[in-house]
Structure 1
Amino acid sequence: MSELAGSGAPTLVPALAEAPAAVPKRIVLAWGLWDWGSASFNAVVTTFVFTVYLTTAEGFGGETVVSAQLGWALAGAGLLIALLAPVTGQRSDSSGRRKFWLGVNTYIVVAITAALFFVQPEQNYLWLGLLLVAAGNVFFEFAGVNYNAMLAQISTPKTLGRVSGFGWGMGYIGGIVLLLVVYFGFISPDVGLFGVTGDDGMDVRVSMLIAAAWFGIFALPVLFAVPEYKGVGARREKVGFFASYGRLAGDIRHLWRDSRTTVYFLFASAVFRDGLAGVFTFGGVLAAGSFGFSPGEVIIFAIAANVVAGISTITVGLLDDKVGPKPVIIVALIGIVIAGLAVFFLHDGGQTVFWIFGLALCLFVGPAQSASRSYLARVIPAGREGEVFGLYATTGRAVSFLAPTAFAICVTIGGAQYWGILGIIIVVLIGLALLIPVGRRLKH
């Protein structure tokens, strides 16, 4: 079906029908380097360094209070993402400025990351730190929508899986390389590089400048190497911002009517992706609380876990192209369930059990995430990549309470922290059950 003149109705041509016959390796590398660089925000800002600084530095007002305020700030950011991501993605498609908005959103995140340098460990600066982290999350998700939408541009139907896996794996490994730099260069030693110490939080604050520079530098290649999007989506009639919501509602109706597989997958993937996120969110907590890891051992395990996830994701991306993304996701989710149950039932084995089966969990998490992205890229109607990946972000945010809630309920019922593992496994199983009936096996 072709696009209806003047109606703005979406085309039903698959996005991969617009994919090039061949893509130079330099363009794929340039695209993957954005993932490598963007991991600075995930690994250094939101996971291991800056948020830990906010919640543990005494000057900010106490771990419990600040943790709650951080939670509320991130919840507000999540709400904005859920409301705005599909429309901003749609508008970048229809304006034919997908790469432009990737650049704008990326360098807003870079600027926000650099601004974290000014957050001193004093209560008066807490609001600034919370605001910057929340805003960074919003614009990072917007950038991610544009970045994911490029997947069909920089891959062919035969290479989509390996390209997606390459980018996701680069993100894991790049984040760990940067984490090693800032941890052993500034945070761990009493006197770090350039004479930086922990006085006034300077070790963490300088690390934010390093993280900003890292992202800013590695985001450049994709902006120079990948051409701007000029496909069918860029030829849709332009509408105003608020009118975009009306178009979005109409597009969702068309999507439900004509590409129902995409809608079903959005819901199924939202559930199992939240379970995957729970593996990393609670992995360090379980390592320390249930298996006796010291803080240093947790960081060492985190580094090993991300290396394993990165290598497996890059490798399994090749399998994605041979058998299709859905079998890869299903096998990965089953592997997560088996490894998670092993951690639960063999927890008395201590750290050895966690090292073996915890790393096994990480072996499957990355491939499931990457194949999820490649699956969606294969079923999105042409010209709708930004919009649908915006919905991908929205549905993920809409159910982001599942894994934390299931974790807390199981801990309460079982009376011990390791029972939370079952909560994560339950969410993964529900996602798997929702995924199995989705669509037919995709051609690849």
Structure 2
Amino acid sequence: MTTATPAPASASADQYERRGWYFYDWANSGYVTTVGTVLFAPYLTSVAEQAACGRAGTADDPCRTNLDVLGIGISPGSLAFYVVTAATLMSALFLPIVGAIADRSPRKKLWMCGFAWTGSLAACSMVFVAGDRWMLGAFLLFIGHICLGSSMVVYDAILCDIAGPDERDEVSSRGWATGYLGGFILLSINLGVVTGHDALGIGQGLAVRLSLLSAGLWWGLFTLVPFIRLRNRPPVAVVPVAKGSRASLVRQSFGQLFATLKHAKTYPMTLLFLVAYLFFNDGIQTVIAVSSTYGEKQLGFATQVLIMTILLVQLVAFFGALAFGRVARRYGSRRTIMVGLVIWMGIVVAGFMLPKEEIVPFLAMGVAIGVVLGGTQALSRSAFSQLIPRGREAEYFSLYQAGERGTSWLGTLVFGLVHQITGSYRPAIVALGFFFVVGLILLSRVDMRRGITEAGNTQPTVV
């Protein structure tokens, strides 16, 4: 491997360029909140139910006619979750190749923006998902999910080009904050459109489809900002690949992942923490992904209620992350995460028992999710960083991301299967408690002090 040393990022980047980088979080968060989190899964479910049964199902009278997908009967209520499962599994195989290509390319921003614009085109095309076009909706959701993950791989890599080691926390945090703000603003606008569709003279279905279109346009248009402001840089510290040798490039990308896995075996506490994280993070991601469908189809809430709840979760999550950080300073990150996982288990049990069409308990659950959402994820990343041997941070965090995508399809698969077997979302939501229980048991066996010592890192006062 060559050992070319790049110039310090702080010397080769300025605030103009960094603000351009921040704006990609602003751009894609509009899609994540409006399409991925709130609107599209329940809307696609309604379209699939209409196609299968000639009507949209309800919680009291669900559609029990299956869709025919390659000769396999698929419940309309499970379709969106199976699509996300397939796309996430494909991402785990595809993203290492994207990362390898981006590392060796002098045109990183073009790769990032190319994936973003392809995904935004898919999101814009969701405006045509109506009638019996559930297959179009499933295809567009699959493409959007793949393109979002691919663009984020390159986006994260560019951080190392524009910020030095002492600046990365601040630059990365500002990116996340910009993204939360962008997603909040667009979702608030779409709340007005969906809630006031009668005043606008349009039906609710059209209001939802226009909101999906707005998310695609938001993603694509604001991606122009980083495209204009970011500079391309030559690749450094990579193994040269013979021109046209795509097979060699693929072998190298997967070879690096397997080499890191092999190296991680010498750090058992690091590996055990990673496995624990993969389980409980899968539960977290699935709860967030299915919450809007559960609220609409099982509890009977209107779309505008779901959007307001997601906005509430985003707002509370900001304060929850700060609160968890303060608690961790006194009791340690591992103990604080474990408390968070107990709360997550309480959330899924409470979700199982939520009464229909009663908004106060539903909003209370949203507040509870917000309190633990940002905290558990933020502390998981900081705790894992304590267990990484010096000089191999990028390798281990790439393993962190690849492993997350390789297992995060399990939650949506379990949720979809339990719904298909039982015909109800209530047992499906409580089944997700399995991931928090397993994660908690594994995390309780992690000896942080031993892991930090094995990694050769300095012991913090509290772990």
Alpha-carbon offset, residue 238 of structure 1: 1.9
2:192 maps to 1:184: yes
The answer to whether the Cα contact below 8 Å between 1:173 and 1:307 also exists between their aligned partners in 2 is no
Provide the rounded CA distance (Å) in 1 between the counterparts of 2:50 and 2:427. Answer: 34
Q: Say whether 1:279 aligns with 2:287.
A: yes
Cα shift at 1:38? 0.7
Output aligned runs, 1:42-441, within 5 Å. 42-57=32-47, 60-62=51-53, 64=63, 65=67, 66-117=76-127, 119-123=128-132, 125-185=133-193, 188-192=196-200, 197-198=202-203, 201-230=205-234, 232-233=236-237, 235-239=238-242, 240-258=245-263, 267-284=275-292, 296-313=304-321, 315=322, 328=333, 331-338=336-343, 340-341=345-346, 344=349, 355-356=363-364, 358-370=366-378, 372=380, 379=388, 392-404=400-412, 423-434=431-442, 436-437=446-447, 439-440=451-452
Whether the 8 Å CA contact 1:333–1:428 is kept in 2: the answer is: no
392 and 226 in structure 1: CA distance in 2 versus 1, 3 angstrom threshold: farther
Distance in 1 (alpha carbons) for counterparts of 2:379 and 2:174: 11
Whole-angstrom CA distance in 1 between matches of 2:183 and 2:377: 16
1:103: Cα distance to partner?
A: 1.3
CA 266–90 in structure 1, closer or farther in 2 if over 3 Å, else same: farther
Pick which of 39-48 and 81-90 moved more.
39-48
Give a deviation string over 1:25-76, Cα, whole Å, max 9, x none.
5554433322222122222223322333222147544455444444443333
TM-superposition CA deviations, 1:72-107 (whole Å, max 9, x none): 433332332122111111111122433221111111
SS at match of 1:242: helix
Q: Are the equivalent residues in 1 in contact too, given 2:115–2:147 (CA < 8 A)? A: yes
Return the alpha-carbon distance in structure 2 between the equivalents of residues 380 and 150 of structure 1.
Answer: 23
| Aligned 8 A contact 1:232 1:383 in 2 | no
CA distance in 2, matches of 1:390, 1:288: 36
Render the CA deviation track for 1:370-399: whole Å, top value 9, x for unaligned.
Answer: 4556777895998995x8766545422332
CA spacing shift, 1:50–1:352, aligned 2, 3 Å: closer
SS in 1 for 2:452: coil
Say whether the 8 Å CA contact 1:22–1:156 is kept in structure 2.
Answer: no
Q: Give per-residue Cα distances to partners, 1:384-438, cap 9 Å, x unaligned.
A: 95x87665454223323443566689999x9997676664444234335545347
Give, in whole Å, the separation in 2 of the partners of 1:300 and 1:430: 32
Inter-CA distance 129–402: structure 2 relative to 1 (3 Å threshold): closer
Count of aligned pairs: 422
Answer whether contact 1:36 1:175 (CA < 8 A) is retained. yes
Q: Relative contact order, CA 8 A, sep 6+: which one is greater?
A: 1
Cα gap change, 1:129/1:384 in structure 2, threshold over 3 Å: closer, same or farther? Answer: farther
Q: Give ranges in structure 2 of 5+ residues lacking alignment.
A: 57-62, 68-75
Q: Give 1:147 deviation, angstroms.
A: 1.6
Q: Which amino acid aligns with 2:117?
A: Y
Q: Provide the aligned C-alpha RMSD in A.
A: 4.5
Query: In structure 2, the residue corresponding to 1:49 is in which secondary structure?
Result: helix
Identity %: 24
Alpha carbons of 1:333 and 1:144: their partners in 2 closer, same or farther (altered >3 Å)? Answer: farther
Cα distance in 2 for partners of 1:180, 1:407 equals 28
Residues 120 and 296 of structure 1: CA distance in aligned 2, closer, same or farther (over 3 Å): closer
Matches of 1:215 and 1:226 in 2, distance apart? 17
Q: What secondary structure, in the 3-state scheme, does the structure 1 residue paired with 2:193 have?
A: helix
Residue aligning to 2:73 = none
Asked if 2 retains the 8 angstrom alpha-carbon contact of 1:169 and 1:366, the reply is: no
- The Cα shift of 1:175 comes to 2.1
Question: Do the aligned partners of 2:320 and 2:373 also contact (CA within 8 Å) in 1?
Answer: no
Cα 1:112–1:416, aligned 2, differ >3 Å: closer, same or farther?
A: closer
Q: Which amino acid aligns with 1:112?
A: A
Unaligned runs of 5+ in 1: 6-10
Alpha-carbon contact 1:87-1:244 (below 8 Å) kept? yes
Aligned to 2:26: 36
| CA 1:162–1:275: 2 relative to 1, 3 Å | farther
Per the normalisation by structure 1, the TM-score is 0.75
Q: 1:369 to 1:246 in 2, by over 3 A?
A: same
